[in-house]
Structure 1
């Protein structure tokens, strides 16, 4: 489900719930880590291509890959022949991540549904599951109960015991300090400053890593999607809120306090509409689903019935817009104009190679109609060069859970690489 509009590891890792290994640039990261990430990103790749991609000697790559094979992190795989290629003599060998080495779980906790996946070390899906929930914040105990129940369900589907998991990644909306494993504020929690990673790890057994859910969508794109071959790109998510994840030099950029890039809470209107964060004039308060629902109930005089799903209301609004209702169309048009403001600011600030708009709400094509993109172009600084391409991904909640799994995969692999490096240095 991908539409392209064009003009023209990875995340921080840490051991258990301890301190993060600080992000490093490509020039500073150990070569063994660069080699592993090159193999992981490619899926299957010959040694000679790894050497070319990294600009290092084939001998160095041979030494490092032999060490990684001995450590059980990668393996040799017979390379498939090219089209019409006749294989003579010994078949070509490629390198790939050893899929069976580890299994991890990824979970997304949201306002309307919790989703989970279990993947192998290569990121291949083993099982997935989801449980619905009533909107509104939960206590910490309720959240931990929900996480445990969903994990047990998806483990049962995968035929994997909890103790067999090497790690668990969890994504939540809100302000999350991934390094400390603390949720400072989230729409799904009644409490603030919750050490969720430590609490969940103590309850579940395997080490747990947490992050903002928009960062995890960016991780999913980096590991499995359109960002796999890019060093710098932005992901803007539009669902129950508006989020942003930014990949810089192959890694999630977080800011000095690890809480940056809250695009949904940038201000687009002084003394404007009330946002669920408690402030006024946030971009989210004009674009997110609750903002569209608020406009519908006000402008169309629709009563929001007790217990009615906001999704049902939005689907009705979209159907009215498609049928030609001028008021319904104007609601989406207004949201699209505010989205254009936010996207133009992303381009002006970061100059990304690609912008990915992701989330279930991207089914509403009014949000990225031609006039919205034209308005974004008008608001972007005219440098004489084309703006970044924009891709639309409406893949639903499983993508977010895959991003949480990528967080766990990244943390586990970086921990293993660091441990092996320390052993080799002794």
Structure 2
């Protein structure tokens, strides 16, 4: 029988200890052992190393100056927020959002640039992202040399392990090695991730999934994304591949099959009114959903029908996801939520109809209009999760070599 890779086990245990301190600190070593189910010997060895590297700090509970106090003060452990700074970014069709965070994932500075990104040449997009990162770092009172890692979140299909953006509506080419491009430009280790995975981790650390280690997130933006969290870790495909929910096939047979994006994607929802010049201009400027919301309020039948069809399709897709994974909570985020009650009621009704009666009460549906900076903060969390697993020393984190799928 093949034994577990000891380096992998060390990385997993290290992540577990750091994440336990992050979530429950200040916390004692005994409590870490109880919560993580790691032995006290393992916890002591890992925390000793983390203290040596300056990633965690000690805090004494009790007054060591009070001689009358019984017993020794308890030594509690907490993250050192100043140990590391990272950058997270969300890149969308019409805007870019950047944040710098500390080792706890708390935002130090943020920058939002309303600029049309989609279908620009790759070099131009890279220029814009580089400028945004540098500006956000300067706003934080830092230099790039102070940044341990950068994570850029893209819509579409991203292969996290190789650094390739397989496909994205904002890139004119497939299979772009954006991680290598930005690492060479910034001279800082840069990784890429799908924006749906980023917002999933943001909700796990700070949002609607903070109390859960298992959950599903569905993002309804220009692309339809899926994030699956199991035992506190993102589920990724081969090579760290993200999931493009919009590619899901729906229908009763090949002759009637359609991809989810063709019904529930942003382009599908807005497409019915694209002939109208004013509406087309709004879409081109990234304000299509705002215009759609106004049309629905004005009882525009074509937009109401499009929003209803989209809600029903998403509701069925969510029912299928719950049937497959049985999560306790499904968090639904993204610009499509701005369509309002027409969309939300159609989604909820379709979900209730499609979900099997045996698991009807399993999952809670939660809708959240997540702020744009939260998506970028989630990208920073992706970077932090990798640092939590990395071996450290006096020169900082040692990046693990990328392996082929």
Where on the TM-score scale, by shorter chain, does this alignment land: which range?
A: 0.7 to 0.9
**Alignment CA distance shift 1:55-1:257 (3 Å):** closer
User: Could you list the runs of 5+ residues in structure 1 that have no partner in the other structure?
Assistant: 1-20, 81-87, 274-279
Residue 342 (structure 1) shift: 1.0
Residue 294 of structure 1 is aligned with which of 271, 279, 299?
A: 271
Using the alignment, how far apart are the partners of 1:214 and 1:176 within structure 2? Answer: 10
Q: Note if contact 1:209-1:408 (Cα within 8 Å) is conserved in structure 2.
A: yes
Q: Note if contact 2:216-2:226 (Cα within 8 Å) is conserved in structure 1.
A: yes
Residue 345 of structure 1 is aligned with which of 317, 320, 323?
A: 320
Using the alignment, how far apart are the partners of 1:194 and 1:235 within structure 2? Answer: 26
Using the alignment, how far apart are the partners of 1:384 and 1:149 within structure 2? Answer: 49
Q: Note if contact 1:332-1:366 (Cα within 8 Å) is conserved in structure 2.
A: no
Which structure ranks higher in relative contact order (CA pairs < 8 Å, sequence separation ≥ 6)? 1
Residue 106 (structure 1) shift: 0.5
Tell me what 1:158 maps to: 140
Residue 371 (structure 1) shift: 4.7
Q: Is residue 244 of structure 1 aligned with residue 226 of structure 2? A: yes
Q: What SS does the corresponding residue of 2:120 show, helix, strand or coil? A: coil
User: 1:258-407 alignment to 2 at 5 Å?
Assistant: 258-269=240-251, 281-297=258-274, 304-306=279-281, 309=284, 311-366=286-341, 369-383=344-358, 386-407=361-382
Residue 213 of structure 1 is aligned with which of 183, 195, 214?
A: 195
**Alignment CA distance shift 1:123-1:43 (3 Å):** farther
Residue 377 (structure 1) shift: 1.9
Q: What SS does the corresponding residue of 2:238 show, helix, strand or coil? A: coil
Using the alignment, how far apart are the partners of 1:22 and 1:212 within structure 2? Answer: 29
TM-score scaled to structure 2, two decimals?
0.85
Using the alignment, how far apart are the partners of 2:254 and 2:120 within structure 1? Answer: 29
Residue 91 (structure 1) shift: 6.3
Tell me what 2:124 maps to: 142
Using the alignment, how far apart are the partners of 1:219 and 1:323 within structure 2? Answer: 37
Q: What SS does the corresponding residue of 2:137 show, helix, strand or coil? A: helix
| Greater mean alpha carbon deviation, residues 406-415 or residues 309-318 | 309-318
User: Could you list the runs of 5+ residues in structure 2 that have no partner in the other structure?
Assistant: 63-68, 399-405
Residue 383 of structure 2 is aligned with which of 408, 411, 424?
A: 408
Q: What SS does the corresponding residue of 1:395 show, helix, strand or coil? A: coil
Using the alignment, how far apart are the partners of 1:379 and 1:163 within structure 2? Answer: 52
Using the alignment, how far apart are the partners of 2:259 and 2:169 within structure 1? Answer: 15
TM-align CA RMSD: 3.2
Using the alignment, how far apart are the partners of 2:7 and 2:52 within structure 1? Answer: 26
Residue 308 (structure 1) shift: 5.4
Q: Note if contact 2:122-2:172 (Cα within 8 Å) is conserved in structure 1.
A: yes
Aligned residues: 387
Provide Cα deviations, 1:335-359, integer angstroms capped at 9, x if missing partner. 1111111111111111112111012
Residue 389 (structure 1) shift: 0.7
Tell me what 1:186 maps to: 168
Q: Note if contact 1:361-1:394 (Cα within 8 Å) is conserved in structure 2.
A: no
Tell me what 1:72 maps to: 54
Tell me what 1:37 maps to: 19
Q: Note if contact 1:335-1:367 (Cα within 8 Å) is conserved in structure 2.
A: no
Q: Is residue 228 of structure 1 aligned with residue 210 of structure 2? A: yes
Residue 397 (structure 1) shift: 1.8
**Alignment CA distance shift 1:147-1:29 (3 Å):** closer
Using the alignment, how far apart are the partners of 2:80 and 2:212 within structure 1? Answer: 23
Q: What SS does the corresponding residue of 2:58 show, helix, strand or coil? A: strand
Tell me what 1:15 maps to: none
Tell me what 1:277 maps to: none
Residue 412 (structure 1) shift: 2.0
Q: Note if contact 1:293-1:310 (Cα within 8 Å) is conserved in structure 2.
A: no
**Alignment CA distance shift 1:222-1:370 (3 Å):** same
**Alignment CA distance shift 1:371-1:33 (3 Å):** closer
